[in-house]
Amino acid sequence: MSPEIIGAIGLLCMIAMVMLRVPVALAMLGVGLVGFGAVTAPIGAVQMLKDLPVDVLAKYDFSAIPLFILMGVFASHSGMAGKLFDATRTIFGGVRGSLGIAGIGSSGIFASISGSSLATASTMTKVALPQMEKYGYQPGFACGILAAGGTLGIMIPPSIALLVYAILTQQSVGDMFIAGFLPGILGMVMYSITVMIMVRWKPHLAQRGESTSWKQKLISLTGLIPFSFIFIVIIAGIFFGLFTPTEGAAVGAFVSWAYAFAKGMRMKGLKQSLIETLALSAVVFFMLLGAEALGYFISVSRLSYSLATWIGTLAVSPMVVLICILIMYFLLGLFMDALAMLVITIPVVFPIIVALGYDPV
C-alpha cells in the first residue's frame, strides 16, 4: 500500500473518530502515531512518541499561549466583559438593534483575548442575554447574535488561534496579528449590519433600545479603555519591535492582572484564575501535540504534496480550489471548535494553499 493511500485512510479514520466524539487531540495523536509507524516503521512511532512532548513544550514561541490565556482569564474575572457590553450598548443607544450590535462588538472584542469562543459565549451570555431579553429580543435571535460574535475573536488580535497558526506554519506572529485585524473588524461591521436588517425586516425579533445622549456616549467610552490599552500595548509593542510576541503576552497578562487587582481580585481569585489557565493551557498543548504528530504523518506520507500536484493538473483556477476549502471549513465548523479545526487541517491545507501561490499570511 502506497504512503499516500495510508495518509488518506488515516485522515478518514481521524474524521470518523472526531464525529464519534473522540477528543480531537487524542484522535490526531493516535492517527499520527499509528500512521507514522505504518509508513516508516513501528520503532519510528515509538521514537516520535518519546521525543514529541519535549519538542512541543520546549519551543519558546509556545510559551506565549498560556500567557495569552492567563490574560483572557484575568479579563473574564475582572468584570471587563460587563463594562465592554455596557459601553457598546450606550454608544449605539437609540439605534434599532443596538443591543444586538453591542452583543456582536463586545463578544468579538472579548473573544480576541479570551482565546475561546466557548468561554466568550458563556461569559457574554451571562452579561448580555438578560439585558437583551429585557428589551424583547427573541431568545434564539439573542443567543445567535452572541454565538456569532464570539467566533469573530479568531481573527481579532491578540488571538490565540492566530498565534497557533503562526507557530505551526512558521510565520511571523506580528504579521498574523496585523493581517487579522481588518478582516475581524469587517466581520463585526457586516454582522452588525445583518442585525440591523433583520430587526427592520422582522420587528418582532427585538425592540428598540433606550436612547442615549452624546454626553452618555462619551462617558461610556471609558468602558473601552482597558481593552483598548491592552490591545494597543501588545500590537504596537510587537509591530515596532519593542518586545517579542511572548513578551507581549506577558505584558498583556500583567496589565490584565493589574486591572483585575484594582477591581478587587485577591489571592482566592488569583488562584482560581491560575487553575483555569492551567486547565485551558493543557487542552491547547495536548491539541498541539496531536497536531505535530499528525503533521509528521502527513509529511512522510506525502499526502499534501500529492494533493497539491493533483490539484495543479486540474483545469480550474486557484480561486475555485480556495472556495472548495472554504466550504470544507464551513461544514467542519458545524460540529468543531475553531481552534480544533485549525490544528487538524493545517498539515493538509497549508501546503496546498502555498502551492497555489497564495501568501501564507
Q: Which residues contact 302 (CB under 8 A, 6 or more apart)?
A: 3, 4, 7
Question: In the predicted model, is pLDDT for residue 209 greater than 80?
Answer: no
Length of the chain: 361
**Pick from 111-120, 133-142, 178-187, 248-257: least confident:** 111-120
What distance lies between CA 263 and its chain's CA centroid?
27
For residue 117, the model assigns a pLDDT of: 64
Q: How far apart are the first and last CA of the chain?
A: 36
Mention every residue, 6+ apart, whose C-beta is less than 8 A from residue 136.
206, 207
pTM summary value: 0.79
Domain ranges of the chain: 3-58+282-355, 66-265
261: which DSSP letter? H
* Cβ count near 100 (within 10 Å): 32
Mean pLDDT value across residues 89-93: 79
pLDDT per residue over 109-133, tens digit each? 777 776 566 667 767 777 778 877 7
Which pLDDT band, with edges at 50, 70 and 90, does 70 fall under? confident
Kindly report whether the peptide bond that precedes residue 360 is cis, defined as omega within 30 degrees of 0: no
CA–CA distance, 117 with 121 (Å, rounded to integer): 6
Q: For 260-312, write each residue's pLDDT tens digit.
A: 888 878 888 888 888 888 888 888 888 888 888 888 888 888 877 777 777 76
- Mean residue pLDDT of the chain comes to 81
